[in-house]
Structure 1
Amino acid sequence: MTIRTKLLLFIPLLVVFANIIAYFVFQSGKVVQQSYDEMLGRILLIEQTSESAESNLKLLYAYLLNPRDDKAVQGPTERQLMQLKGRIQEVSDSAAPSFAEEDYVNLLATFLEQKQAAVLDANAQDPQSAFEHYIEAEKTVSYTHEEGQRLVDAELAYYRPIIENIRNKNERMNGLGVALFGMNALMGVLLAIWVSRSITGPVGRLVGLAKRIATGDLNIEPQPRRDDELGVLSDAISQMSTDLSILIEKDKQSLEMRRLVKELELLALQNQINPHFLFNTLNVLSKLAILEGAEKTSDLIVSMSNLLRYSLQKLDKPVTLQEELDHIREYVTIQQARFRDRIRFDLQFDASVLQQQIPALTIQPLIENAFLYGVADMENGAIIALTLSRAGEDVQIVISDNGKGMAEETRLSVLRLEGRAESSSSTGLGMQNVFKRLQLFYGKEGMVEISSNTGQGTAITIRIPVKKESERTDVSVVDRG
């Protein structure tokens, strides 16, 4: 039998047993309390009615001595007495046979009639008749007190043996409850002992094994065989110890391999061309071109040098739109030397947005993509346009061309960042790489829109929030081609 089955069997039995005991004890007490509440409610109602009748009589007497306002004598006090009279008639339907309220209710009705007659005589300036009605009303109130006391005595006499019988039964039930509670406590103690021996003991041994493994001791001796969940857990710990030993050995081998690879990478880096040597060489070539009268060649070499220097020095840092724009001008200079008059580059910008910061190499790879994949095959009339402007609280960047465009499937794939981004040739950064870096830099999605149809060109719109200096986030390249 598994631990779960044992617990699901014994614990619900204890709970049900305890609830049955509590239910019987509660019910026995509830019967006595209900009978007592009903009897006490009727007695209090009679007492309250008698007091209300007395209050009405006092108000009538005061009115007869000084008849000014009959509303005082016929106001809330009289309405209260009438309400109490109605409640007595209601409770009599569920009361014991001893509660014969007819005479009591009739006396109340007679009192109200006598009171009304006294008020009418007083209003008719007949004090003699009014006081005669008052004397009769006073006698009626006295009879009401006597009849109320009789009802109370009859109620107590009727319920005394019933309550006594219920009290005796309740005492027997309480004795039974004590016995049942004792049995329940004994079963609880036995269950606790069983749980301690069959669960906590093995769990303690497993905790000891776990501590040994945590300290690096993987030489675990076989544990006693069990058929419950703890047996499965014990087998799992033993297997984990064995697997960890194998894994540690593999990790040692892997670390050794990585060390060798790092040494090879270091040797490879040592053999690479120093970037400063490359820039110095380009500067020498530029000056040599000037000396030979090839000024355009010199300008191209300078542009190439600036392009490489920007890519190497700025790649992991945010830059301003002004810096990115200067870099784009260098790139366009090189491309126009290649394509000449076949491609026209249009630039429009709002000077107020040029200090906005963006990740380095955000716009240039998109311009490069337009050159290489949008308009490269066009013999003439090719246009690539870049527009920087404000759009509400955002800065809007639009790169458009009138080239061959892209299929809808390709457009959606680029926006969803699906697959590996296709890298362009000079910077090694593709469109998807740019979009990923924008998401990381600004911490939001949906910043890029692409409008394109096959044969109708492409327009890429980027809306970036105005980012303050204190909110700068350095984002390095996430995907090199």
Structure 2
Amino acid sequence: MNTIQKKIWTLVAVVLFIMVAIWIALTYYNQKTQDQYNGILQRYLRMNEVTNASQQTIASLNNYLLSPNEINLTQLDRSKRQLRSARVGVLDLRNGENDLTVTSYMNLIDSLIETTDRSVMFQSEKESEDSTKAFAEATRISKYISEMTLTLLDTELKTYDRFYRNIIEQSTDLKKFGIWMLLSITLLLLLSTYWFSLSITRPVLKLTQAARELSRGRFDLQVEVSSNDEIAFLAKMFERMRVNINNLILEIQQKAQLEHELQQSKLLLQESQLRSLQSQINPHFLFNTLDTLSKKAYLEGAEETSDLLANVAGLLRYNLKRLDRSVTLYEEVKVLRQYMEIQRTRFTDRLRFETEIDETCLGAKIPGLTLQPIIENAVIHAVEPEEDGGTIVFRIRDEGERVAVEIADDGPGMPEHKIRQILEEHAVDTEGHSTGIGFSNVVRRLRLFYGREDVIDIGSGAERGTKVILRLPKTRRLELEDEAADRR
């Protein structure tokens, strides 16, 4: 049950969530823009680093040529390493627009390093004039590098000019987005607050109106509150009090008419019994008539008609037996085959009946007329409505202390609420078409016969058929109690 306090915390959580979401979105956008700025700045710094490294290399080379000692040579090597490192960074500057320029730029760096090495070599070989020429060439290359750096910077500025303008436009759009977001959040909070207030005030108003009607003696009006908090609990208790008072009033009224209704019921029962006797015919006359028709059809060559009449006679004779006595599975299977022969005559190829029967289980006891209503239900709902008919599978197998009887079809399936009603025996049980026994009646008779609830299970689903499984104990509970009494 949701409490009012929980609703308040939910509203607070929604507001915090919206605020956090906006903060994350703005932070992400700012971080993305900052990363782009940093990327561009790093490109500029790398080009500037190349210029600085080339100038530092020329300065170190000049110092070495003026004073060729180990310290100046070490400083020159360090400058060349910095220049090579800067050259590696230039690779990240390459794109489709400056590919040729960057290639020339890197070649100039390689030429500067090579010329510097050549000047050092001439100096070490005491060839001062060649060393001086190499130094002059290195100085000229360094100037070219500085000029090309400026050229690349100019190209980069032109390339990212549109980017800068987009950032300015995005900043303007972000301000507009922030205004609209503020208005949207304000509207959302107003709607949430209105909904929250209604969730409290509306149930209270309904409860107040119900109390006013009760005070006027209107005990027949149901108290309905749609909330699920403490107010709903109060309404439920209020409704229970109204029902109890109304039941007391109805009970007083019903007691005044009870004797009259009992008399009327007796009269109706007597009339029903009389009509039932009037509608009965002599079963022996009917059986003899059907047997005569069967033999006459056989003599006339209509063997299928003869078999059909024989099956009808056998089925009718079996169905007119008392339902309160037990039969064997053998008898039930025998009459079931007769019933299916009749149905196959009706549906022809549209009805497919498959059996897997363990003959050792046919001695088990079962209430009479148990299997036929279940099979008939499958024929009516799984075979008859379908244009192509359907398949019914009937199996009997041994499961140790029980016999499993399985009846499955490939029809449209049975709704879950219908299965629950049948198993809980809450369904309004309509009579069967041929036996007068409905599905729920079969369930009740099985449970009474064996004295336990777990004798039937129904499995079904949309478009995957229905399966009814009977798990019949080989020994009834009453028989076990009788054996125990005999032993005592």
Which TM class, normalised by the smaller chain length?
0.3 to 0.5
> TM-score if structure 2 supplies the norm length?
0.43
Higher relative contact order (CA 8 A, sep 6+): 1
> TM-score if structure 1 supplies the norm length?
0.44
